[in-house]
Amino acid sequence: MTKAVDERQPTLLARAEKIAGEFDLSPDDVRSITRHFVRQMKDGLAHERVWQLPSYVRRVPTGKEKGKFLAVDLGGSNCRICLVDLHGDSTFTVSQSKDSVPPEVTVNPSYRPLFDFVAHRIADFLKGNENPQCVQGLKDAEQHQTYNLGFTFSFTCEQTSLAGGRLIHWDKGWDIPDAVGRDPCRMLQEAIDHLGLPVIVSVLANDSVGTLLTRSYTSGPTASTLAAVILGTGTNAAYIERLSNVRRLGAEPISDQIMIINTEWGCFDDKMDVLPRTPFDDELDEASTDPGSQMLEKRVSGLYLGELLRLTILHLMQTNALAITCNPTSRIFERHSIDSSFLSELAKAGSDRAQTTIQLIKATLSAEGVTETDARGIQLLASAIARRAARLAGASLAAIIIQSGRLKMSTKGTEHTYTTDDDEQRPQLTSRSSMRSIHRFIHDATLLWRRLLRLVGMGSLIGKPPIPPLSETKSSVVFQEDIIDIGADGSLIEFYPMFEVEMRRAMRDVPEIGPTGDQRIRIGMAKDGSGVGAALIAQAASEMQGAIAI
């Protein structure tokens, strides 16, 4: 290491720590965000907004549903065609094909290239070009002439029924002006009919709604699934709301009916009343295809976290604090060329594998001259950006749980679920008073462990020390009927270390939840839940309409 490099190292770490500090969210920040989001949720239920959108799904699966259904899952970067076989015992099998969506159809003046692309993928799937096993599954019902298809469309739509809606706006970097205001199901059906395929698009589904249904189906009849969150390329959430609260529909106050709500929380606080703001957030927003909108998504979703890291690294390079040398074709000079997987790999490398981190940075950024201090500075930035995203997601989920009222529903030993099997309960083996004592013991022990870690100097590690969330012990100390079950899907929550831990830390900062409420919250993966969820909605629609499943 040269003398020049030695002299700049303290400056680099000081600058990196200062920038990282701009991404910090204090407990007061979290509480303020949660309170504001609860207010927005109530407003969206009462008035026509682009958030709190009714899904028209008014039942959740019990795990007993059966049938074979086609599904299309069109997300931020991929198009999946699925044949979902619901077995009726909370299990399913999926045969699928998956293709990357070409960039030229995601930013286009016309909607036709995109939906023609999807229709051709359906045609390939039916012919068995992508997965021969799919053909046999379809031939099992060859007496039927047409196939019902559930369409998961992961963009903001105002639904008018289970079978259709209106596209409000694009996000995730997509921009197809011709499609705004149109029904995605009709656009897809038009392309399908053009190819002469025997397919009827029977259901419009949202990815978060689909994930909620999948989680409920796989959890079984005694589950208490409340919500689902998507934390991947994009971010969103859906939850179960009382129909009587959905006043934007003019619903009568019927206490025993529910409606699944697509929150579209990516656009919560687009006016920036409480969301955090850094110069890097502003730069990212100004260069986006939708400046001034989806402000929460631009701070949480995987599509944008890599870009925020790129902007912070580029800033350090341009101010000579970071003296690494990058090839002119490096990703560091190209917008949206770094994705969230880079942040995940930096976090997995940790602070004790310097050479691994250095090689990762060299390979990803086509960089030379990377030192251990350079690696440490970049890790600090990545950790701060990801930690803020997780805490924002935690604050948002806290708002959903508070709005649902579920924290108050099961505290007297009465099971509350939204399935048809409310009378099924697991045996209660411990008294309430002894349970409270156990809760208090675990809480106090956790606090003591944290204090000991701070005393030995482990409290400043990147991403904070790996203290498990309090809820990890809840399976043995919380009654089944008290569990608030949350389905989750997406690369961030699945692959980024500590993401769920940081979400839970944020939720525990909210007084209405706190450590005791956190113990009741179970977050479980519903892998690829959006496609299976579309099939479940199609199954529900087929029952209501008297249609026949595949």
Determine how β-strand 484-489 pairs with β-strand 225-231: parallel
Q: What is the pLDDT of residue 256?
A: 76
Nearest of 39, 127, 24 to residue 81 by alpha carbon: 127
* Contact (CB, 8 A) for 260 and 239: yes
Can you say how many angstroms the Cα of residue 306 is from the centroid of all Cα atoms in its chain?
Answer: 16
The pLDDT, as a whole number, for residue 440 is 44
d(CA 283, CA 469): 34
Secondary structure class of 406 (helix, strand, coil): helix
How many CA atoms within 13 Å lie on the side-chain side of 202? 28
pLDDT at residue 17, rounded to an integer: 96
| Radius of gyration over every alpha carbon of the chain, rounded to an integer in angstroms | 24
- CB atoms under 10 Å from CB of 497, counted, come to 18
Report the pLDDT value the prediction gives residue 91, as an integer from 0 to 100: 94
* Helix, strand, coil percentages, rounded to 5, for the chain: 50, 15, 35
Q: How far apart are CA 410 and CA 221, in angstroms?
A: 17
Give the whole-angstrom CA distance, residue 15 versus residue 390: 23
Reading the block at residue 256, the tokens are: 């025993």
Helix (H) or strand (E) holding 498: none
With the CA atoms of 448, 454, 460 and 463 taken in that order, what torsion angle do they form, in degrees rounded to the nearest 10?
A: -10
Taking the CA atoms of 65, 67, 72 and 78 in sequence, report the sign of the dihedral they define.
positive
CA distance 436 to 338: 47
Residue 118, token pair as written in the block: 């999807």
Which one-letter amino acid corresponds to residue 177?
Answer: P
Neighbours of 108 (CB within 10 A): 18
Cα(308)–Cα(302) distance, integer angstroms: 10
Tell me the C-alpha to C-alpha distance, in Å, between residue 304 and each of 211, 236, 317, 335, 393. 22, 14, 20, 10, 14
C-alpha span between 402 and 397 (Å, rounded)? 9
Residue 523 CB partners (closer than 8 Å, separation 6+): 471, 486, 488, 493, 500, 503
Q: Cβ atoms within 10 A of the Cβ of 358, count?
A: 18
Bridge partners for 92 per DSSP: 86
CA 304 from chain centre, in angstroms, equals: 13
**Residue-level pLDDT at 454:** 41
What pLDDT score does 475 carry? Answer: 41
Residue 141 pLDDT: 43
Q: Which domains does the chain have, with CATH numbers?
A: 54-211+530-545 (3.30.420.40)
Other beta carbons less than 10 A from residue 323's beta carbon: 17
Give 80-112 as a DSSP string. EEEEEEEESSS-EEEEEEEEEPPHHHHB-S-SH
For residue 468, what pLDDT is reported?
43
127 contact partners, CB below 8 Å, separation of at least 6: 135
* AA letter at 15: R
What averages of pLDDT result for each successive group of 10 residues across the chain (550 residues)? 50 95 98 98 96 92 91 87 93 93 95 97 81 47 68 89 91 91 96 94 91 92 87 95 91 76 96 98 95 97 96 96 93 95 95 90 96 95 98 98 88 38 31 42 46 40 39 50 92 95 98 96 89 88 60
Q: How high is the pLDDT of residue 7?
A: 54
Concatenate the DSSP letters of all residues of 162-175 into one string. Answer: TTEEEEEE--TT-B
Q: Provide the token pair at 392.
A: 């924002």
Residue with tokens 């040269």: 2
